[in-house]
Amino acid sequence: MDTSKIKNIFFIVLVAVLSSVITLLGYNVTTRNGKTLGGTTSGDSYANSFGQDKNMVLTNLTTADGYPDFTEAATKSVDGVVHVKTKTISQQQYMNPFDFFFGFGDRTPAQPREQVSFGSGVIISKDGYIITNNHVVENANEVSISLNDNREFTAKVIGTDKLSDIALLKIDGDNFPYLTFGNSDELKVGEWVLAVGNPFNLTSTVTAGIVSAKNRGNVMGEGLGIQSFIQIDAAVNPGNSGGALVNTRGELVGINTAIYSETGNFAGYAFAVPISIAGKVAADLKEYGTVQRAVLGIQVPNIENIRIENPDKARELSQIKGVLVEDFSDRSAAKAAGIQKGDVLTAINNVPIRNFAELQSQLNRYRPGDKISVTVDRKGSNRSFNVELKNDEGNTEITRNTDAIGKLGATFRPVTDAMKSKLGISSGVEVVTVDNNGLFRKNGINKGFIIMRINNTPINSADDISKIVASTNSRQDKVLLVAGFYPNGRTQYIAIDLTTN
């Protein structure tokens, strides 16, 4: 064999060996980091808001025998999941039966009653930010956090969002164990997941199951604006609310929120808010104090209502692969971009859209002012439109919690216990000053007014008012119903629209 042939063979072998080494090294790095090189996860941009370390070594997926191994994922998860205890002061009205029969009405002051509730939460940053469910901390006067190592903290409620049932808490510290965000978009039906929380007040409980479905809608009725859940069959019970749904790598992929049950306890199905949505909500609450919701400004058919009157039409609509544009809202972003009635939305930024839940899942990732590509099927022809998303007021402005509070144009001070006793009330703050251009003055509330309740929630401090304004500002109606009075005057109920100037 001549020298040139030997050199060629040697060169081919050398290239093959180097290629194998590079491939193995690349696979090792990829496996160690738990993601494909150059790839991104749905939680990355929101993880950055909380300073999460994305270079963590992830856990093994299987045992030596090839069976699923959840031990490392469970060990890491329980330290990042906390027990949430809340105290809420509710009001009980006591009716004197003689007052009722003789027409004097309810003259007995409301009596305060303390209620204690429990739930779960997930630490998402080393400086103590915690995601939980809104319904876990809603109207709470005090929130306490217990870690897996038995340390206890008083938590501050940074913000709440009723539509997604997500709340953000904060405890003081700088070196807490936390869970890193995973990619809830990449979850597959049939994939193993773990639910970590505190069911029935039992701390640090881990259950396993599979992803039963994705983008599950029509789960919570009309109480929530988010109808795009991860459905799982891991056991989730009362007390698990706000806890972690993690994949087998120990990454946070959802916040356990609800169960499907006729008894109130686990009956085979549970539902979690994907971290792609929960992470964005938490980031908004941290940065702005309220959630920035982007809308296309379209109206879609309500198939359930149509099914009652016209089953055949409902059946036809349910066969559509996409979302039918039935009409537009005022100042619609979609209409301004050129989308027409009768178009069927089939993709957003090249992500397929097969139903309204998937449309919501995608839109909930964006803020007003973001630009997206929307693909529609128009009479059998695909077309793409660049849409600049707007908020529900028809503009691209960012809303901040402080903006709404400042618009009230008032300062407050708590009513003393002695004054409460004298006035016959159990909650209240006094309006100390009123700005001539504020919403309070414009709606007839002036200095000296005693606020007992806002939106039927007892008020005892300016902070209570801030929380109510923050939660109301995230709703569609954005109306405060203020119950109060001037000393020696009758009780008044005053509605204040936060969208007015």
What is the per-residue DSSP string for 411-434? EEEEPPHHHHHHHT-SS-EEEEEE
Report the CATH number at residue 56.
2.40.10.120
Are 125 and 271 in a shared domain? yes
Does any domain span residue 430? yes
pLDDT at 398: 80
pLDDT at 40: 37
Does any domain span residue 293? no
Are 17 and 156 in a shared domain? no
pLDDT at 224: 57
CB neighbours of residue 335 within 10 Å: 19
CB neighbours of residue 289 within 10 Å: 22
Question: Positive or negative CA dihedral for 248, 250, 255, 256?
Answer: positive
Report the CATH number at residue 326.
2.30.42.10
Does any domain span residue 396? no
Which pair of tokens denotes residue 62? Answer: 């299987």
Would you put residue 416 in left (φ > 0), alpha (ψ -120 to 50) or beta? beta
Instruction: Establish how many alpha carbons lie within 13 A of residue 244's alpha carbon, considering only the half-sphere containing its beta carbon.
Output: 33
First to last CA, the chain: 92
Cα 372 to Cα 196, 234, 358, 369, 386, distances in angstroms = 35, 35, 15, 10, 6
Tokens 């995608």 sit on residue? 362
Rounded distance between C-alpha atoms, residue 333 and residue 393, angstroms: 11
Are 373 and 479 in a shared domain? no
Does any domain span residue 395? no
pLDDT at 476: 62
Does any domain span residue 67? yes
Q: 340: helix, coil or strand?
A: coil
Are 135 and 18 in a shared domain? no
Helix (H) or strand (E) holding 43: none
Are 5 and 59 in a shared domain? no
Listed residues 334, 360, 388: the one ending a domain: 388
Number of domains observed in the structure of the chain: 4
Listed residues 232, 261, 288: the one ending a domain: 288
Rounded distance between C-alpha atoms, residue 456 and residue 453, angstroms: 5
Are 202 and 323 in a shared domain? no
Rounded distance between C-alpha atoms, residue 177 and residue 158, angstroms: 20
pLDDT at 64: 58
Structural domain of 201 = 45-288
Does any domain span residue 188? yes
Q: 103: helix, coil or strand?
A: coil
Contact 122, 128 (CB under 8 A): no
Are 184 and 225 in a shared domain? yes
Are 170 and 198 in a shared domain? yes
Rounded distance between C-alpha atoms, residue 35 and residue 57, angstroms: 11
Active site residues: 135, 165, 241
**In degrees rounded to 5, what are phi and psi of residue 127?**
-95, 15
Are 98 and 146 in a shared domain? yes
pLDDT at 101: 42
Q: 115: helix, coil or strand?
A: strand
Are 197 and 245 in a shared domain? yes
pLDDT at 24: 40
Are 368 and 486 in a shared domain? no
pLDDT at 1: 53
Nearest Cα to 320, choosing from 336, 334, 338, 306?
306
Cα 134 to Cα 46, 241, 288, 444, 480, distances in angstroms = 19, 9, 17, 32, 19
**The model's pTM:** 0.73
Are 211 and 317 in a shared domain? no
Helix (H) or strand (E) holding 105: none
Listed residues 258, 288, 318: the one ending a domain: 288
Residue-by-residue pLDDT tens, the chain, 501 positions: 555 555 555 555 444 444 444 444 443 433 333 332 233 345 566 888 898 875 444 445 555 555 678 998 999 899 999 999 998 866 554 444 443 344 444 444 445 577 899 999 999 999 999 999 999 998 788 999 999 999 999 999 999 998 899 999 999 999 999 999 999 999 999 999 999 999 998 988 999 999 999 998 877 655 556 678 999 999 999 999 999 999 999 999 999 998 888 788 888 899 999 999 999 999 999 998 889 999 999 999 988 889 898 999 989 998 999 999 999 999 999 999 999 999 999 999 999 999 888 998 899 899 999 999 999 999 999 999 999 999 887 889 887 766 667 789 898 999 998 999 999 999 999 999 898 888 999 999 999 999 999 998 899 988 888 878 877 766 667 899 999 999 988 999 999 998 776
Does any domain span residue 40? no
Does any domain span residue 39? no
